[in-house]
Chains A and B, each alone.
Chain A
Amino acid sequence: MVAVSGHPVLVFRTPQGFRAFSAICSHLGCIVAWNEAHHDIECPCHAGVFDTNGKVVSGPPPRPLSEYSVVVVNGEVMVKTA
């Protein structure tokens, strides 16, 4: 979890590379977290579950998580805000 321009962003590594999603749940604005045991992203408020593409798997969220583009520059992971 990192702060990008004051917004909480979830960055994780997949076999295809780094992915970054807004950590603000699309349902009611709680902060989602990576669940290592289930290999998914879960919201603690109303049990919304998202997959590693940010898509809704179950629960009440109406939209997927917003995705940020990620680039790796000189070994540093950079998250683009716009």
Chain B
Amino acid sequence: MSLPPKIRRWLAERYDIDVAEKFVDGQLHKPLPQETGFWHTFGSLSLYLFLNQVVTGILLMIYYRPTTNTAFESIRFIMTKAEFGWLIRGLHAWGATLMILCVLVHMMRTYFMGAYKKPRELTWVLGVLIFGCTVTFGFTGYLLPWNQLSYWATTVGTEISGAIPVVGNYIKLLLRGGEGVSGETLARFYVLHVVVLPWVLTTLIVTHLFLMRVQGLATMERVGEEKPTDKKHAVPFFPDHVLKEGVVFCALIGVLVTLIVLWPVELGVKADPFVTPEGIKPEWYFLPTYQLLKYFPKLLGIFVSLIPPLLLLLWPFLDRGRERHPKKRPVAVTIGILGLFLAILFGVLGHFSETTITWHEQRYQLDMYAVPHRLPAGGEAAPNRATKGAKSRESNSQSANH
């Protein structure tokens, strides 16, 4: 790839253009290891989705007003009056969900292919921080529509932080800007969501990408035995890998638009600090933690729920074996599959807990631990105190509102 001669000459008179051209060319045609396949595209997909969040976020900011009297109404305006506002909000809300999903798949690929091992430990640590930052984006953005679900999910979420010894109440106060979730909280979450987090995440992503480019992609060879990429068998970044990414990117756009059209993002009912609706559930990515917290007293629950993220963060320093191939790492792979299974299990339990379901024409009431209790035909839920979650509640439709 070269610049038009006139522009090149103009730049060459001012800058050392050869160095820049050599750098760009080297990056563009960087040979990637043979193992680089479709699973390697999820990192780039996460990046595309982040860019989608930035662009749609800026567009939403034009009409969004972050005060308790105007937030809900401004989103309603975006959804009903603003040209293509429904599409922009849909892209933002579903884009957030897909971004978290892509980051998770990217992390799983890295984990199972042993790519976090020496010398790429810090790239993994940055990746875990990127994941943490992404879900914090989700948490802060969830409050912004100022509807009942977002208000109460935020109340419960911030209340949990109050149980941390010594500093808990200060953290809660810092997050809320007062005793309860109010306009102060909305302002704080807005600033975090549109100013602080975007810059933090951008810095993390740039550093993550820089390290990835400098060290190159991991191969499946043992730690310390990685051979330099053989140019004859390598996959050129451009055009081969970029084309692969293009294919997946098109599929992603298809999925995104399908989701927006078939499952439009709802606005719900405006927040009312005096009435808590039934069926308050967090977004799907918080469901495993939400469910886990129910099995332990508050403080112990916080410590238990901190174990998985801490394990993720420190994993490259705990698993120091030299093998990368999953077949040669039975312990790490078993732990990975078990962790994944538990996350899905707790997520499903969280989703169905405190709901009523019908199974083979028999109605069951699921208590807070998602244990089913048979309901008498046609009758209301029996007030069974022993089940703790004994409430008649028609299924889960209130969860996962963006």
Contact = CB atoms under 8 A, between A and B. Distances in A.
Interface size class of B (residues with CB under 8 A): 20 to 34
B278 A28 contact: no
B180 interface: yes
Given A8-B274, A30-B280, A57-B385, A47 B367 contact: yes
Scoring B276, B279, B386 by chain A CB atoms within 10 A of each residue's CB, the highest score goes to B276
A47 B389 contact: yes
A45 B156 contact: yes
Contact of A62 (B155, B180, B298, B354): B298
A46 B368 contact: yes
Contact of A28 (B156, B367, B380): B156
Provide the main secondary structure of the chain B interface: loop
A29 B274 contact: no
B274 A45 contact: no
A1 B297 CA distance: 29
B375 interface: no
Contacts of A45: 152, 156, 276, 280
B159 A29 contact: yes
A70 to B, nearest CB: 19
Nearest to A32: B276
Contact of A47 (B159, B274, B354): B354
A29 B156 contact: yes
Contacts of B275: 1, 31, 33
Contacts of B273: 8, 31
B196 to A, nearest CB: 25
Interface stretch (A12-20, A36-44, A74-82): A36-44
Nearest to A3: B274
A59 B160 contact: no
A47 B368 contact: yes
B280 A47 contact: no
B68 to A, nearest CB: 13
Contacts, number: 64
B76 to A, nearest CB: 24
Contacts of B320: none
Contacts of B367: 47
Nearest to A60: B294
Interface string B264-279: 0000000001111111
A31 B156 CA distance: 11
Given A44-B278, A47-B388, A47-B391, A37 B383 contact: yes
Contact of B276 (A3, A30, A38, A60): A30
Contact of B155 (A28, A38, A49, A57): A28
A58 B274 contact: no
B26 to A, nearest CB: 54
Contacts of A44: 276-280, 391
Given A47-B389, A49-B385, A58-B388, A31 B276 contact: yes
Contacts of A46: 294, 368
Contacts of B99: none
A28 B159 contact: yes
Contacts of A62: 297-298
Interface string B314-350: 0000000000000000000000000000000000000
Interface string A1-27: 101000010000000000000010001
Contacts of A27: 298
Interface in B59-73: none
A38 B383 contact: yes
A58 B156 contact: no
A23 to B, nearest CB: 8
Contacts of B386: 58
10 contacts: A8-B274, A29-B155, A30-B276, A37-B383, A44-B278, A45-B152, A47-B367, A59-B368, A60-B294, A62-B297
Interface of B: 152, 155-156, 159-160, 180, 273-280, 294, 297-298, 354, 367-368, 380, 383, 385-386, 388-391
Interface of A: 1, 3, 8, 23, 27-33, 37-38, 42-47, 49, 57-60, 62
Given A30-B152, A44-B391, A58-B385, 11 more contacts: A31-B274, A37-B383, A44-B279, A45-B156, A46-B294, A47-B354, A47-B368, A47-B390, A47-B391, A57-B385, A58-B388
Going nearest first, the 10 A-B pairs with the smallest beta carbon separation are A30-B276, A31-B276, A28-B159, A29-B159, A47-B389, A44-B278, A28-B156, A58-B385, A38-B383, A8-B274
